[in-house]
Amino acid sequence: MPQQQCGFRDAKVKKIYLDHVSSKPIHPRVLEFAKGYLKHGYGNPSSLYSVGLEAKRILEDARIKLAELINGENENSIIFTASATEANNLAIRGTALRNVSKGREVAASTIEHISVLNPMKELQKNGFTLNLIPVDSMGVVDLAKLDEVLTKNTTVTSIMYANNEIGTIEPIREISTTVHDKGLYLHVDATAAAGYIPIDVKADGIDLLTLSSNDLYGPQGAGALYVKPGIKLQPILLGGGQERGLRSGTENLFAVAGMGEAARMAKDEMAQEARRLKGMRDKLIEEIVTIEGAYLTGDPTQRLPHHASFRFEHIEGESILLNMDMYNIQVSTGSACSSKTLEPSHVLLAIGLKHEEAHGSMVLTLGRSNNMEEIPTIVKAVKETVERLRKLSPLSNKGVM
């Protein structure tokens, strides 16, 4: 049983945080780099005097670091936003509305984040056609269906680089070829993938790409959109014309500077950190799939190096999350942005799971704070949690009558 009394966690039990896909702590080196801008970074980058020019220099330095992480053409290809959600909205709505004369169709995979799907559904209410591309049981986009669905009227197609709930990495280069043969522009949400696997927007054939500060161990409150030179967008936030006129509002200098430094660190340390995380991920998967009625979700090999996701028969994901928290281990049961609803994950339904199967999910995402010594503790907690919940479940033949 978990070490707790009266419903409270034992303060002596070490916390093991395994929900890095939904939020990451700011890295101490990033904080040290950026914290001075909380006190001294009050200049407006749009001002022409010295304090403003220094702020602009800091802003442009962060742009360079982001462009280098994804091999963008130059710093001018980076547009800063307040979040990845805003960047997704700018990419989708901005591209569709700016290019409406070329077509009124948009497309996305069935497993996209809701910050991609909801803007497309909003466009659909205003006369656009939304075409959804299915995925297979591993979460990989069906390339034949993609080719079938896209038309010359498809202005923007959005396919994520890797899925945040099941960890599957998509064949972006093949997808790009099809999109550019049949449609107009490819947008890629790289929020879950950036910093874990190499991304090269030029080699991958990506036109627009979303990044998140917090998902790179940077401060919350900043995101970015890569826009390939020559692509025109309609702004969705109007005002003073900052960010090349595409995103008005004074930039959050602390968050942007931190995001830039986090991108630099990710670029320099990605390969080594990915190898370390993959070893832990593989051990978790090896141990947890031995539990009766436990199944890995997502592609077993083409998956993010820090991502292990499962479903369990006859128990609810929310119960898993709460029971694991009693061990002071924080896990996820799907997308944090979808947790306000009681509906099963649209991602798990899209890969072919039944409603009752999709409800029993658990996602473990490793990060810099985790180490191999924690694996036995995590596995033991998962096994005890599943056993306890199954005994309580009326759906299980091991349930209490």
Spot the catalytic one: 296, 337, 379, 395.
Answer: 337
Q: Return d(Cα 300, Cα 18) in angstroms, integer.
A: 19
Selection from 197, 118, 198 nearest residue 158 by Cα? 118
d(C-alpha 161, C-alpha 152), whole Å: 23
Distance CA 351, CA 219 (A): 33
Under a CB-based contact definition with an 8 Å cutoff, are residues 37 and 55 in contact? no
Q: From CA 131, how far away is CA 157, in angstroms rounded? A: 9
Distances (CA, A) of 218 to 70, 79, 213, 287, 370: 16, 17, 5, 32, 18
DSSP line for 328-362: TEE-BSS-GGGTTS-SPPHHHHHTT--HHHHTTEE
Distance CA 349, CA 44 (A): 47
Query: How many separate helices (H) and strands (E) can be counted in the chain?
Result: 13, 14
> What is the three-class DSSP state of 78?
strand
At 5, give phi and psi (nearest 5°).
-135, 135
The H or E element spanning position 208 is strand 208-212
Please tell me the distance from the alpha carbon of residue 383 to that of residue 363, in angstroms, as a whole number.
Answer: 15
* Whether the Cβ atoms of residue 65 and residue 221 lie closer than 8 Å to each other: no
CA–CA distance, 383 with 375 (Å, rounded to integer): 12
CA 222 to chain centre: 14
Is 6 catalytic? The answer is no
Active site residues: 337
